[in-house]
Amino acid sequence: MTTGTFRIVAFLGAFGLLPLAGRPAEPQGISIGYSNCLAVASYPQSLMNSVTNFNWYFALASVGTLMLEGVTNLHASDPSFYELQALECTSNPPDSTLPGMIYGNDRGHSTGTDYEGDWQYEVAYFQSAVGNGWSYPRVNLAMNILSFIDIWYNNSSNGVAELLDGYIGSMTNLEAAYPQTLFVYVTMPITTTNYDFEVDVEPEDEYWRCVFNNALRAWCTANNRVLFDIADVEAHDSNGNLCTFMYDGLLCEQLWSGDNQGGDACCGEVGDGAHPTNFGAEELIAKGFYALAAALVQRGQPQQTTTILSSSANPSPVGQAVVFTAAVAGTTGTPSGAVQFSTNGVAAATAVTLTNGTAMFTTGGLRRGTNTVAATFTGTGQFLGSTSSLAQVVMPWSGTLRLVGLSNGLSTLTCSGVPGFGYVVQRSTNYLGSWVTLGTTNAPASGSFRWQDNVNGPGGDLPQAFYRLQQP
């Protein structure tokens, strides 16, 4: 990653003394910046295919919209190589999502005067959307991008500390609540020093954006987080030079003015000094999505799994033991770990360890009617968790039998029962005596079946015969 030389600045916030140095060394986690985006065009096809293992939720405003426009442009230019697609969504997710899709939710801005309180609105919106279901298993990755206008009411050391605390605090809280979802941190988009809108003050506000971004980079490095460094991408010109200016002794980044020309952005954003509207800039930033997903694959990011739950008999008779089998599969390899079974929301006493990707659970205590049985693979370091459920119907065993014919020593019986249930056909020559099992069968889908019995005994015809159906 191309870097500049920055004076070290620091402030004391809720996270303690945070060094606001320039671009840190590549963190133990992942940091996606300008150089990573450039590298995407040379990725092998196999790596580009692997990015579709992930799908995303992305809460955004104007800059995020341009980022996803770049995703759309790339896919249109070469859909076999650039396989990711962008789809507009709302804060309420659909029942199911598609792999390789970036679900972009344009949350807009708050309605406060001159956008005061906007970052609080953005953080709360993202938290609410994730709580509404924008998390695993619908998406693997979730990211929330702040707006460059969020610095307007935070252009001081204390203001930046509050903004940083609020953004990081919301993300870490979500990480704890949704451990199977990877939350991607994003630097604040930057502007040129010629930006002029509402209460924006340049170059001071751009200076404080850089202070915020440097602090976020340092925190992500120290805490092994995944960072999408859009500010780094915006700050490079087409020759790879970092666009900077000096302010209060700090070498600061600014948006390359060439990225703010052309394109089709609305509302005067083309040439406004604040948006990467140029088609080339949009597409370069969009390659960051590929670089991030590829980096996750290459570092062994836990892969997605599917769990399929099946029943040994459905419907099943009251009191009969039913075996439930959970088959867990990964994209590659066989998952290990354990499956937690539950019936009607009550977890079984212990989880069942997977053997060759399967786990079985047996119970005979299901209640009459429809029962919800679920199997949840809890996940391991290599494999993400997944869940599956089914409706297990438990019915009382019942059956009828009728003698409909006797010819040539054969008695013909018509029987009816519950489809799928087992039936034992028995005969006795003395109703009060012993019964002989003639055979066992399962009732077909129609519930009706026939049975024939040879009533010729070893010494001649039986004097009499009684028949009955029994539960196995």
pLDDT in tens, 435-459: 889 999 989 989 899 988 887 755 4
Query: Looking at residue 303, what DSSP letter applies?
Result: B
Q: Who has greater pLDDT, 17 or 190? A: 190
Residue 78 makes CB contacts below 8 A (sequence gap 6+) with: none
Instruction: Report d(CA 422, CA 469) in Å as an integer.
Output: 10
Q: How far is CA 215 from the centre of its chain?
A: 29
Query: What local confidence, expressed as pLDDT, does residue 14 receive?
Result: 32
Tallying the residues shown for the chain, one arrives at 472
- β-partners of residue 173 are none
Is the per-residue pLDDT at 230 higher than 80? yes
* DSSP string for 12-58: EETTEEEE--SSPSPPSSEEE-HHHHHHGGG--HHHHHHGGG--EEE
CA 381, CA 397: separation in Å to the nearest integer? Answer: 45
Separation of alpha carbons 471 and 364, rounded Å: 15
Which tens digit of pLDDT belongs to each residue from 351-410?
999 999 999 999 998 999 999 999 999 877 678 889 999 999 998 888 898 988 888 778
What percentage of residues in the chain have a pLDDT greater than 70? Answer: 91
pTM above 0.85, yes or no: no
Q: What is the DSSP letter of 434?
A: -
Task: Find out whether 265 and 275 touch, Cβ atoms under 8 Å.
Answer: yes
pLDDT of 301 reads: 59
Contacts of 168 (CB under 8 A, 6+ apart): 15, 185, 216, 219
The pLDDT value recorded for residue 197 is 86
Q: What is the pLDDT of residues 28-83, one digit of tens each?
A: 479 999 999 999 999 999 899 988 888 999 999 999 999 999 999 999 999 999 99
Instruction: Give the range among 13-27, 62-76, 329-343, 456-470 with minimum mean pLDDT.
Output: 13-27
DSSP designation for 100: T
Placement of tokens 């019942």 in the chain? 398
- Check pLDDT > 80 for residue 19: no
Q: Average pLDDT of the chain?
A: 87
The average pLDDT across 457-468 equals 70
Q: Which residue would you say has higher pLDDT here, 333 or 144?
A: 144
Give residue-wise pLDDT tens across range 84-122: 999 999 999 998 899 899 999 999 888 766 788 889 999
Distance CA 233, CA 278 (A): 13
Token representation of residue 281: 């800039």
77: Cβ–Cβ under 8 A, 6 or more apart, which residues? none
Check whether the bond before 137 is cis (ω within 30° of 0): yes
User: Closest Cα to residue 162, out of 8, 9, 18, 7?
Assistant: 18
- Asked if 438 and 450 touch (Cβ cutoff 8 Å), the reply is no
Structure tokens that stand for 364 in this block:
């005979």
**Cis status of the peptide bond prior to 203, with omega within 30 of 0:** yes
192-213 pLDDT, tens digit each: 999 988 889 999 999 999 999 9
Q: Which of 155, 154, 153 is nearest to 112 (CA)?
A: 153
Share of the chain above pLDDT 90, in %: 64
CA–CA separation, 376 and 386 (whole Å)? 6
Residue from 20, 17, 406, 3 nearest 212 by CA? 20
- Is 218 within 8 Å of 24 (Cβ atoms)? yes
Q: Is 396 in contact with 318 (CB distance < 8 Å)?
A: yes
The three-state DSSP-derived secondary structure of 186-225 is ECCCCCCCCCCCCCCCCCHHHHHHHHHHHHHHHHHHHCCC
- Checking DSSP bridges between strand 369-377 and strand 338-343, what pairing results, if any? antiparallel
Residue 7 has pLDDT above 80, yes or no: no
Residue 325 binned pLDDT confidence (cut-offs 50, 70, 90): very high
E strand residue ranges, 202-321: 226-228, 244-247, 250-253, 305-311, 316-317
Decide: 244 and 254 in contact? Cβ < 8 Å: yes
Please tell me the predicted confidence (pLDDT) of residue 9. 32
- How far apart are alpha carbons 394 and 421 in whole angstroms? 11
Residue 13 structure tokens: 């916030």
| Mean pLDDT value of segment 13-20 | 31
Q: How far is Cα of residue 429 from the mean position of the Cα atoms in its chain?
A: 65
What are the tokens at 118? Answer: 């906007």
On whether the CB atoms of residues 148 and 189 are closer than 8 A, the answer is yes
Strands 226-228 and 182-186: parallel
Does the pLDDT value for residue 25 go beyond 60? no
Confidence (pLDDT) at 10:
32
Position 1 scores a pLDDT of: 33
Euclidean distance between CA atoms 108 and 110, whole angstroms: 7
* Cα–Cα dist 172/144, whole Å: 12
pLDDT digits (tens, 9 = 90+) for 279-323: 999 999 999 999 999 998 877 656 778 999 999 989 888 888 999
The amino acid occupying position 273 is: G
pLDDT at position 472 is 82
Does residue 224 register a pLDDT over 60? yes
- Residue 153 CB contacts under 8 Å (≥ 6 apart), including other chains: 116, 117, 159
